[in-house]
A and B are shown apart, each in its own frame.
Chain A
Amino acid sequence: MSISRNTTSDNRSVTISISDRFDFSLHQDFRDSYRDMKEGGTRFALDLRNACYMDSSALGMILLLKDHAESIGGELVIQKPNEVIRKILDIAKFDRFVTIEE
């Protein structure tokens, strides 16, 4: 499974980790990984340290997650993208709407 999720005991913070390729094939699993997290103010961290590649549909999936986080008054941060993924995020100027932590 290339998506895994860790939540803190109070359900207020969740880390979604992606490994290998982050692309359209993960669409459903990715959605399922956050849809049940509805606690107001939840902080979503998308951990990409083990992801090696990302395509433009993954950018779209990130926007969906961001929408979900904001709809419950929470926030989204992207963590540790590798160089290839960082370049894709940079080209799309995603740092303008999402916090990216190195």
Chain B
Amino acid sequence: MVCMDCNVRLNTSRVLVVSRNRESREWLATMLFLSGFHSIKVETGKQAVEHFRDYLPWLVITEVFSPDEDSISAVEQIKHLAGDIFVPTLFISHTTNDEVLQLCLDAGGDDFIQGPLTNPALVKAKLAAMQRISQLYHEVHGLHQLLQREEEIAEELLSGAIEAGNAECEKVRIYKRPASIFCGDVQLTAYRPNGDVNVLLGDFTGHGLTSVIGALPLSETFRAMTRKGYAGDDILHQINDKLKALLPTGMFLATIMVTISQDEGQAYVWNCGMPSVLVLSGSEKALKCTVESLDPPLGIVPGFKTSPARVIPLEENDRILLISDGVQEARNRAGDMFGDARLLAAAHEGMAKNQLADHVIAKVSQFMGNRVQDDDVSLIEIPGDVRAPLVPQNPLSKSMVDIDALEQHGQGWCWSIDLQGKSLSRINPVPMLLSQLQEMEGHTEHWQTVFTILTELYVNALDHGVLQLSSDLKASPEGFPLYYQEREAKLSALEQGYVRIALDYMPKLDGGQLRIRVEDSGDGFDYRHWLATHAEISDEQALSGRGIRLVSELVETLNYSDKGATVEVYFSW
């Protein structure tokens, strides 16, 4: 027997009266008529079910004499037919036998009147009570449906806006299992213009509708800033300020941000209030390190600045595993939590099988069994070799600068920025330069290359020129963290020094040319010696000096001057 559609409307003026006794039927019909209802009178249970289906009365009143009365099974069938719709049933009982009364209740009966029927006032009162309960039920049912519908629509809109915007990055395995329709966990991926991949896993307080209010501004900020080339910490600071302004007190976002840089062969990880990130070695199939939370969740402290990123040298078959607290806190039927030890064991097994995420998920699901899930469970597996797809480039012409062409067109422009002292630690000029280019000359695939060139030249000018950091520190993988610590310390104490960047743009018939000049306040370096010793060696394993080699491959000409404190490159397309 199929249940009725829950949107079926019952007829609020019809009442089904079931009795073998004609007198009872007529007496009830009169009572009902006096209360403003129309009766449908039937004699048997079978008829009752049929008439219920045909006439959809809002109330069923049925007489019961003995347990083998088919009126009890009729009520059972009517209740089943009605499914989610509430149809009150009133038994008129001629017996005080407890067993019979229990059978009536089990069948779904809502109330009794003791027969024989003699008291009109009692029947009227019962009718009114049934009517009140029924109205209340329909009101709640309607509100519930409305809520559910709104949640479904909002969920569709949000997943459309949030996840559909993710970079199409099949290598990054994203898994989520929400505790309710709305998942408080958000997983985002996007590409930086230089080919780096940014991945974010966020967990809003609580779950359900209210926990995703912040998801839209979060995903928009993450994507827009990543696309413009901002660094992970800049993005986190902006997200923090947005959420702080938007979310009520008590709501916040625990989050992990990971930037994977293939060019540098390392990952940058920020953990703000999330469970530890696991980094697993592909060659040893074992835990390489963990990145624990160093900062509070976002959206609590105004103007919050994150701790420096953990920088982790990465090999291509290494794996980074991000999890929300729903994983460790998943409970089994006995109420035990999945916990750190089981997670670590599952991760090791998963690495051995080359199915990290899938194996961990399988283990968590197996552990939970069919227990109702308390919290959203999500997990992201990032392989060490992930990068943005390469944009096809036109082969670079190695011709020298075409001075005549530049002068002929006279449509070029020059734009420069001069950053001094403290502003160097506050402002990253590369995204600004890039958005300047985009605004003035529109979007082309070449900006990705320009971004790489600008980033490398600027970082060199700042790190080695202004901050006087030595690349020697980066000679070993262990030196990397030291290098970044020192960089952070020097940057925050910076009082003087400058970096000037000037862009000279010149349109060409079928493309354009950009001269990039970067000048710093440092002492320069022995670029002649460096070029002579480094430029020809293509040592892929070298941990430093990659930047400038990369730039020289991308540009037509690269010239140092001013003892190495000024560099000028030409890039044409």
Contact = CB atoms under 8 A, between A and B. Distances in A.
Contact of A92 (B206, B250, B251, B254): B254
A73 interface: no
B358 interface: no
Given A24-B206, A56-B325, A91-B273, A63 B293 contact: no
Contact of A57 (B205, B292, B293, B296): B205
Interface string B403-429: 000000000000000000000000000
Interface string A35-69: 00000000000000000000111011101100100
B159 to A, nearest CB: 22
Given A55-B375, A59-B205, A91-B274, A96 B251 contact: no
Interface of A is mostly: helix
Interface in A52-102: 55-57, 59-61, 63-64, 67, 90-94, 96-97
Given A56-B254, A93-B293, A63 B274 contact: no
A76 B38 CA distance: 65
What bracket does the count of chain A residues touching chain B fall in? 10 to 19
Contacts of B250: 57, 60-61, 63-64
Interface string B436-478: 0000000000000000000000000000000000000000000
A67 B249 contact: yes
A10 B329 CA distance: 42
B273 A92 contact: yes
A21 to B, nearest CB: 10
Nearest to A56: B205
B205 A60 contact: yes
Contacts of B375: 55
Nearest to B375: A55
Contact of B296 (A55, A67, A93): A93
B300 interface: yes
Interface in B213-254: 249-252, 254
B275 interface: yes
Highest count of chain B CB atoms <10 Å: which of A55, A56, A91, A94: A56
Interface residues of B, number: 22
A93 B273 CA distance: 7
Contacts of B519: none
B199 to A, nearest CB: 20
Contacts of B325: 56
A64 B293 CA distance: 22
Given A92-B296, A93-B296, A64 B249 contact: yes
Interface string B289-310: 0001111110011000000000
Contacts of B295: 93
Contacts of B205: 56-57, 59-60
A56 B206 contact: yes
B569 to A, nearest CB: 43
Contacts of B301: 96-97
Interface in B186-216: 203, 205-206
Contacts of A55: 329, 375
A58 B273 CA distance: 14
A61 B297 CA distance: 14
A57 B297 CA distance: 13
Contacts of A93: 273, 293-296
A94 B274 CA distance: 13
Contact of A60 (B251, B275, B296): B251
9 contacts: A56-B203, A60-B205, A60-B206, A63-B249, A91-B273, A91-B292, A92-B293, A97-B300, A97-B301
Question: Top 5 closest A-B pairs, CB basis?
Answer: A60-B250, A93-B296, A64-B250, A92-B273, A91-B293
